[in-house]
């Protein structure tokens, strides 16, 4: 009896050894282990044996089953490794090839608008100036007619590095820097750049945002020049349809001062969450350069006059594209950015 089992075992192990692929593996397994396989057949013969022979016979069948199972397991592992290797060869990826997918986003609307704003003002004869984002209190406030303890400082709280150094709260300190640089000469500059405030972030406010500062200084400059400039800017940026509103306002560094609102693009002026129900969104502050500021920065106000403005770039982008929440501009969500691919 044992001999017969040894013979079957030898045959099975040889067959398993010869297995080279998944199909022949399944075939051998079925031959020995399926319901109608060799081992089931051997088990069914048990009932034909005498009581004494049965325990040994049972033991031999079980031994044979575990030997075959073990050999199949080893073969299965070998086959799996081979299959994985073949799969990897087939799926070989060349990471240096250009992507097949067209899933690229567009330029962030912030940069689209910043570039367009620059182009509009350059076409009106403005030059681009620059200034530091980490600024001295002196330039950010003092030279703009906002001395220590002036209440206007409350509206522009910032992030301070020391008593005297802070993240600039607006691009207006560039006004003072350019005036000091160009002492006595006429000026016509814009300065696009970042500004920072301790503002609570909401649909239209961010603690970090950007402005385009504008400054014109020359002889015979009037509020009419300021209004005509901003009107032209608004028409070029938003088209003839969008409504504009000039409101009297207050800035220490301009006198008189205005704030300019554009009708909300979300609700077309009806009132919604984005415009806080007013129908308008403020995009800029402006005014005639305050005589004190001219004097402090080396210009004689009896000869020179000037106007200045500070336009929020994100606010312009929001109105141009109907963006309902300023924070979308900073989140780099590809679903948002994709919408600007064609622009």
Site membership for ligand FA5, residue 170 (CB under 6 A): yes
Site membership for ligand FA5, residue 135 (CB under 6 A): no
Secondary structure, 3-state, 189-249: EEEEEEEECCCCCCCCCCCEEEEEEEEEEECCCCHHHHHHHHHHHHHHHHCCCCCEEEEEE
Site membership for ligand FA5, residue 282 (CB under 6 A): yes
Choose the binding region for ligand FA5 from 63-71, 177-185, 204-212, 294-302 (rule: CB under 6 A): 204-212
Site membership for ligand FA5, residue 110 (CB under 6 A): no
Q: Output 38 or 305, the one with its CB closest to ligand FA5.
A: 305
Q: How far is the CB of 267 from ligand FA5 (least distance, A)?
A: 18
Residue 342: which residues within 8 A CB-CB, separation 6 or more? 106
Buried b (16+ CB within 10 A) or exposed e, 18-30: ebeeeeebeebbe
Cα–Cα dist 204/319, whole Å: 11
Q: Output 39 or 212, the one with its CB closest to ligand FA5.
A: 212
Q: How far is the CB of 199 from ligand FA5 (least distance, A)?
A: 4
Binding footprint of ligand FA5, residue count (CB under 6 A): 24
67: exposed, middle or buried (Cβ count in 10 Å: 0-12, 13-18, 19+): middle
Site membership for ligand FA5, residue 314 (CB under 6 A): yes
Cα–Cα dist 117/300, whole Å: 31
Q: How far is the CB of 232 from ligand FA5 (least distance, A)?
A: 17
Q: Which of residues 207-246 bind ligand FA5 (CB under 6 A)?
A: 209, 211
Buried b (16+ CB within 10 A) or exposed e, 257-287: bbbbbbbbbbbebeebebbeeebbbbbbbbb
Q: Output 212 or 337, the one with its CB closest to ligand FA5.
A: 212
Q: Which of residues 47-76 bind ligand FA5 (CB under 6 A)?
A: none
Cα–Cα dist 212/234, whole Å: 14
Site membership for ligand FA5, residue 287 (CB under 6 A): yes
| DSSP string covering 1-28 | -HHHHHHHHHHHHHHHHH--SHHHHHHH
Q: How far is the CB of 92 from ligand FA5 (least distance, A)?
A: 49
Q: Output 8 or 213, the one with its CB closest to ligand FA5.
A: 213
Strand partners, 244: 262
Of residues 140, 145, 158, 206, which one binds ligand FA5 by CB under 6 A? 206
Of residues 286, 293, 323, 337, which one binds ligand FA5 by CB under 6 A? 286
Of residues 140, 158, 252, 254, which one binds ligand FA5 by CB under 6 A? 254
Q: How far is the CB of 136 from ligand FA5 (least distance, A)?
A: 16
Alpha helices in 91-172 (DSSP H): 109-123, 137-140
Contact of 311 with 211, CB cutoff 8 Å? yes
Q: How far is the CB of 167 from ligand FA5 (least distance, A)?
A: 12
Instruction: Find out whether the peptide bond into 333 is cis, omega within 30 degrees of 0.
Output: no
Q: How far is the CB of 289 from ligand FA5 (least distance, A)?
A: 8
Site membership for ligand FA5, residue 32 (CB under 6 A): no
Strand partners, 192: 212
Name the residue whose CB lies closest to ligand FA5: 312
| DSSP string covering 246-268 | EEEEEETTEEEEEEEEEE-TTTT
Q: Output 19 or 284, the one with its CB closest to ligand FA5.
A: 284
Site membership for ligand FA5, residue 261 (CB under 6 A): no
Q: Rule CB under 6 A: which residues touch ligand FA5? A: 170, 172, 197, 199, 205-206, 209, 211, 251, 254, 257, 282-287, 308-310, 312, 314-315, 326
């Amino acid at each position: 009896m044992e001999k017969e089992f040894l013979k079957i075992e030898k045959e099975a192990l040889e067959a398993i050894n010869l297995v080279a692929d998944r199909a022949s593996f399944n075939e051998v397994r079925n031959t020995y282990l399926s319901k109608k396989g060799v081992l089931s057949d051997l088990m069914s013969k048990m009932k034909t044996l005498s009581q004494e022979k049965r325990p040994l016979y049972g033991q031999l069948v079980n031994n044979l089953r575990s030997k075959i199972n073990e050999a199949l397991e080893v073969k299965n592992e070998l086959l799996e490794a081979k299959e994985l290797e073949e799969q990897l060869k087939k799926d070989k990826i060349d990471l240096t090839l250009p992507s097949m997918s067209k899933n690229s986003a567009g330029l962030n609307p912030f940069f689209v608008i910043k570039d367009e704003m620059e182009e509009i003002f350059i076409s009106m004869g403005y030059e681009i100036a620059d200034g530091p984002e980490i600024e001295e209190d002196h330039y950010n406030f003092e030279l703009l007619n906002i001395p220590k303890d002036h209440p206007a400082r409350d509206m522009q709280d910032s992030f301070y590095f020391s008593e005297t150094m802070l993240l600039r709260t607006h691009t207006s300190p560039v006004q003072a820097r350019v005036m000091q640089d160009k002492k006595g000469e006429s000026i016509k500059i814009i300065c696009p750049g970042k500004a920072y405030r301790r503002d609570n972030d909401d649909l239209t406010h961010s603690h970090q945002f950007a402005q385009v500062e504008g400054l014109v200084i020359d002889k015979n400059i009037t509020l009419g020049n300021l209004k005509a400039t901003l009107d032209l800017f608004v028409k070029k940026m938003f088209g003839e349809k969008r409504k504009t509103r000039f409101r009297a306002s207050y800035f220490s560094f301009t006198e008189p001062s205005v704030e300019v609102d554009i009708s909300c693009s979300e609700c077309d002026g009806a009132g919604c969450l984005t415009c806080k129900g007013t129908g308008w969104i403020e995009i800029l502050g402006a005014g005639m350069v305050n005589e004190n500021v001219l004097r402090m920065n080396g210009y004689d106000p009896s000869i020179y006059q000037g106007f200045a403005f500070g336009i929020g770039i994100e606010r312009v982008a929001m109105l141009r594209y109907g963006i309902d929440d300023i924070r979308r501009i900073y989140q780099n969500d590809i679903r948002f950015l994709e919408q600007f691919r064609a622009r």
